[in-house]
Every structure is written in C-alpha cells, then in structure tokens.
Chains A and B, each alone.
Chain A
Amino acid sequence: MKCRAAQYMISLKLDNELTPRQSRLLEEHLNACEECRSYQSLIIGVSSALKADSDSISGNGFDSASFQTRLHNSLIEEQSESCSIFSEWIAGLSQRIITYERSAAINPLRGVFAASSLAVLAGVLFLYLSFTPPLVPGKDFGNGHIAAFTTRTDEDGRAYADLRVHVSESRGFSKEKLQ
C-alpha cells in the first residue's frame, strides 16, 4: 500500500468507515511506515482540536431574543416588499394596456389585432368550459346526470366532495366501474 492510500484510509478510520480488510491492510502499512504513523497521530490531534472547537460553540454571547425581533422585522419588510412588487407589476400591466388602447385608437391595425386576440381568447375559454362541465346537480354528461353534489370539511380541515350520480344502464355503463 502506498502512503497516499494509507492517508486516505486513516481519514476513513477516524470516522469508523473502514472495512475489516482495509483495517488489516492499514495496520500492516502503519507497522512498517513511521511517516504514516506520525501522520495518523497528527490527524487525531487535528480531529480533537476541531471537536473541542466545535464543543466551544454554544451560542454564548448570541442574543437570541434580539435576533428573533430583527428577523421578524425583516420578514415583515420582505412580505410587504413582495406585495408591493406584485402591486407594481399589476400597475405596470394596467399602464401598458391603457397605452396600447390609446395607440390602437390612433392606429386601426393595432385595434384589429387587439380585437382578434380577444376573440381568440374568448373562443378558447368557451371551448374549455364546454368540455369541462361544472359539477352541479342536473348536469347531464351523456351517460347520466349528477343527482346531488355536496362538499364538507372534516375536523382536521380536509375537504371532501360527495357526488351522487344517476347512470343510465341502457347505454352500457357499469355501476361497479363507477364505484
């Protein structure tokens, strides 16, 4: 075993991560290599120093209450900043829409473009609503209709929806499948 490999294994040994075979190989090397034995003592010393330094960190001198207050104020500030960023974004968007409307009044082509965009949007919305029927009693979905639809919340705050469906069996619908 080379000294470089032995030094790597010494590090693993420090964390009890050596396999029995690695452990045996390392011991053999250490018995024969004075330099690596010395390195092992040094590494153990460094590890103890780090451990002692870690133990000395106890938070003494750290004013937790004052930090909490400072953090609370910063969080409030952060929250209001993000609210104002959102408001600014909305205001900016409104301003852009107004500017666009004014320019559309001057340039008819822009007006046509805006009107057709709105028409496309309305069409998409209409198609979406047509293919995703709302869950209301009496709503027919081809193979039957919704008889009752209620919502409730349990004591843990979880929301449930109770749905009673009347299915017309003549059209080949399986009740078991629904259940």
Chain B
Amino acid sequence: MIMLMSEQKLIMDAKAGNLDAFEGLMCVYQPMVYRLVLSLSQNADDAEDAMQETMLRAFRSIRTFRGESSFKTWLCRIAINTSRNWIRKESRASASRFAEFVPAFLPDTSDQPDKVVVASEEKKMLSEALLSLPDHYREVVVLRHYQDLSYQDISDILKVPVGTVKSRLAQARYILARKLDPIMRPDLR
C-alpha cells in the first residue's frame, strides 16, 4: 500500500513536470521495460535504444495518463508500440544480429563444444522464429511467456478481447511449433 501510494505521488509529481519523480518511476519500471523490449526485438542494442525511446515517449505524454489503467499497463503499451515501430523501421533481420547469441535454453554443455554449436543454433532459430511472427502474434507470446502476464492483463495492454488473446496465442504457438519442429524433435536431427 505504501508502495502504491508512493507510486501515485511520483506519478502526480511527474505529471506536474517534476523530472526527478519521472526518473524515479522509470527506475522502478526499467527492468520490466528492458525485458519486454529485448524479448520483442531479440537484440540487446535495439532493446536499449527502444527502451530509451519508450521512456522519452512516456515523458512526452505523461500528462495524458488519466489512471484508467495501471501505470504498468500504460507503460507496457507504449513499449510495445515503440518496439513495433522500431522493428519495422530498422528491419534488421540480418545474419550478423545473431552473431552474439549465447545458448540459453539447453542444459550446460560447456564440456562438449559440438553441442554448444547446436545450442547456439537453436537459440538463433528460436529468435528467428519469434521475429518472423507477425507483430500481433509475437506480442502475445512475449507478454505471456516472457512477462508471465494473465490473459486479462494482455487483453488490457493490447486493448483486445480476452478471446482474441487466446486465439492469437494458440495461432502463434502453432506457427512457432511448425518452425521449431526440427530442433524440438531430437530424432530428426
């Protein structure tokens, strides 16, 4: 409750033009925004730029925040719109963007270099599969799997009915499954 009240105070002060209050708010939400834009863009450099752009946009429009949704929902919406424009504008799905990827979702294979190569390849395929999804599918996947949000929260952020969230998620998973089928079935390797 104390946390909520202090957030309310920060929001009120930020709306009144207090820069310190706005920066305080951004400090609280920075990890969440970074995680969101990184999972949407799948690139650390883009994520930092998109996060900064998100926060600048939030700063420009904080006066229009009426508290009809939570501040987190409002900020998530800005981050998603920013990332959407960013990915579209940059459109840099070049081979070099995946060069820095580190194996993430496979067991530790540090003593087996050949498996590290495979893991890195799998990470790359997962990122490519995510990036190849249309925006509205990628967003529900990221909000569900990377932000761990409920259908209702996703519906509030994207301003679509819960039924649409369910069908988009099912369709996105179907596409991902088809794309990742070869690496998900060890017998086919």
CA of A48 to CA of B173 in the docked complex: distance in angstroms? 12
A78–B145 CB distance below 8 A: no
Query: What residues of chain A lie closer than 8 Å to B23, measured between beta carbons?
Result: 68, 71-72, 75
Interface membership of chain B positions 45-89, coded 1 if the CB is closer than 8 angstroms to chain A and 0 otherwise:
000100110011001100000000000000000000000000000
A-side contacts of B38, CB under 8 Å: 57
Asked if A43 lies at the interface with its beta carbon under 8 angstroms from chain B, I say yes
Chain B, interface size category, equals 35 or more
Closest to A39 in B: B177
Beta-carbon contact of A42 and B59 below 8 Å: no
Number of A-B residue pairs at CB separation under 8 A: 103
B154 to chain A, nearest CB (A): 11
Given contacts A49-B105, A67-B51, A75-B22, contact A61 B44 (CB under 8 A): yes
Cβ-defined partner of B105 (8 Å) among A15, A56, A59, A78: A56
Q: Are A53's CB and B52's CB within 8 A?
A: no
B74 to chain A, nearest CB (A): 18
Segment of B27-35, B90-98, B109-117 in the binding face: B27-35
Are A46 and B180 neighbours in the complex by a CB distance under 8 Å?
yes
Residue from the list A15, A39, A74 in contact with B151, Cβ < 8 A: A15
Task: Judge whether A59 and B177 touch: CB under 8 Å.
Answer: no
Contact, CB under 8 Å: A52 / B105: yes
Contact of A50 among B56, B146, B181 (CB under 8 A): B146
Q: Which of A4-12, A108-116, A133-141, A144-152 contacts B (4 or more CB under 8 A)?
A: A4-12
**Chain B residues in 8 Å Cβ range of A52:** 104-106
| Interface residues contributed by chain A, number (CB under 8 Å) | 39
What residue in chain A is nearest B141 (Cβ atoms)? A50
Known: A52-B104, A53-B104. A46 touches B177 (CB 8 A): yes
The chain A residue with its CB closest to the CB of B107 is A52
Partner of B52, one of A43, A45, A48, A71: A71
Secondary structure at chain B's binding surface: helix, strand, loop or mixed? Answer: helix
A51 within 8 A of B: yes
State A112–B169 Cα separation when bound (angstroms): 67
Complex interface: chain B residues within 8 A of A68 (CB): 23, 27
* 10 cross-chain pairs, A with B, having the tightest CB-CB distances, nearest first: A52-B105, A56-B104, A11-B170, A45-B184, A50-B145, A54-B146, A8-B170, A42-B177, A49-B105, A53-B104
30 A-B residue pairs with Cβ-Cβ distance under 8 Å, sorted by A, are A7-B174, A12-B166, A12-B170, A15-B169, A42-B181, A43-B173, A46-B184, A49-B105, A49-B122, A49-B180, A50-B126, A50-B141, A51-B105, A53-B123, A53-B126, A54-B39, A54-B145, A55-B104, A56-B102, A56-B104, A56-B105, A57-B146, A64-B30, A67-B30, A67-B48, A71-B52, A71-B55, A72-B23, A74-B52, A75-B55
Name B residues whose Cβ lies closer than 8 Å to a Cβ of A.
19, 22-23, 26-27, 30-31, 34-35, 38-39, 44, 48, 51-52, 55-56, 59-60, 102, 104-106, 122-123, 126, 141, 144-146, 148, 151, 166-167, 169-170, 173-174, 176-177, 180-181, 184-185
16 additional contacts (CB under 8 A) given A46-B180, A48-B105, A62-B34: A7-B170, A11-B169, A15-B169, A39-B177, A47-B145, A50-B141, A51-B105, A52-B106, A54-B146, A54-B148, A56-B102, A57-B35, A59-B31, A59-B35, A68-B27, A74-B56
